[in-house]
Amino acid sequence: MADKNIVNKIVSVLQKNTKNFIQPLAQTIIKQYGKKPFLILVSGILSPRVKDSTSLQVCHELFKVAQTPKQISEIPIRKLEKLIYKIGFYKNKAKSLNKASKMIVEEFNGKVPKTQKELLSIPGVGIKVANLVLGIAFKKPEICVDVHVHRISNRLGLIKTKNVIQTEKALQKILPEKDWIEWNTLLVMWGQNICTPVSPKCSICKLSKICKKVGVKKHR
């Protein structure tokens, strides 16, 4: 198990060295539209396998037209596809968005539910988006594990896991609960700027001295 001091050190290094980085998508949405759980959920449904900058642009275009579950549920599917066509898998995502909005209107009285079980029942919402909404929108201690969190937590040598489900469980054991929500925010920024998927920038990484660089074959 990872030493508590190492985890604390990593969190404080990342907090200090990500101040000037562009915030992840959900935080940027909050900054521009206020803390609205539904908009965080929508950004989570739209963002998989898409660059944050593209997702943000598409969110802006969609939010100009509609911002509530009822409004989005009333957009004809072809129009919804047109609004979000710039992102990958837009047809499937338009379908999910339409169904998710309808379900929130019909089954949750127009409000994003606050439990993991209910969130997971919504089309297009997997564990990553559910935990993102719970953590960022409702401040419930959950660890949102995306590709950055999975990759960097393993490279650091904090955990040894094969998939995001294992990563979530392993991180719950080693991270203090107070850091669960922020772990995603910090590691997403680190993953987008320093510990990139291919050839991470280890030579300028402030975590280099404590990182075990597990599985890193090529770096800059």
Residues lying near ligand SF4 in the complex (CB under 6 A): 152, 155-156, 194-195, 200-202, 205, 207-208, 211, 213, 216, 219
CB of 219 vs ligand SF4, minimal distance in Å: 6
Residue 90 or residue 190: which is nearer to ligand SF4 going by CB?
A: 190
Read off the amino acid at residue 123: P
If the CB atoms of residues 15 and 92 are measured against ligand SF4, the closer one turns out to be 15
Question: Smallest distance, Å, CB 163 to ligand SF4?
Answer: 19
- Per 3-state DSSP, the chain is made up of helix, strand and coil in percentages (nearest 5) of 60, 0, 40
Smallest gap from Cβ 196 to ligand SF4, in A, equals 8
Q: Quote the distance between the C-alpha of residue 101 and its chain's center.
A: 20
Determine the length of the chain: 220
Q: Which is nearer to ligand SF4, 78 or 198 (CB)?
A: 198
Minimal distance in Å, beta carbon 182 to ligand SF4?
Answer: 17
Asked whether 165 and 178 are in contact (CB, 8 A), the reply is: no
Find, among 134, 132, 140, the residue nearest to 178 by Cα.
140
Closer residue to ligand SF4 in complex, CB, 3/107: 3
> Which residue, among 94, 37, 45, has the nearest Cα to 67 in the 3D structure?
37
CB 65 within 8 Å of CB 91: no
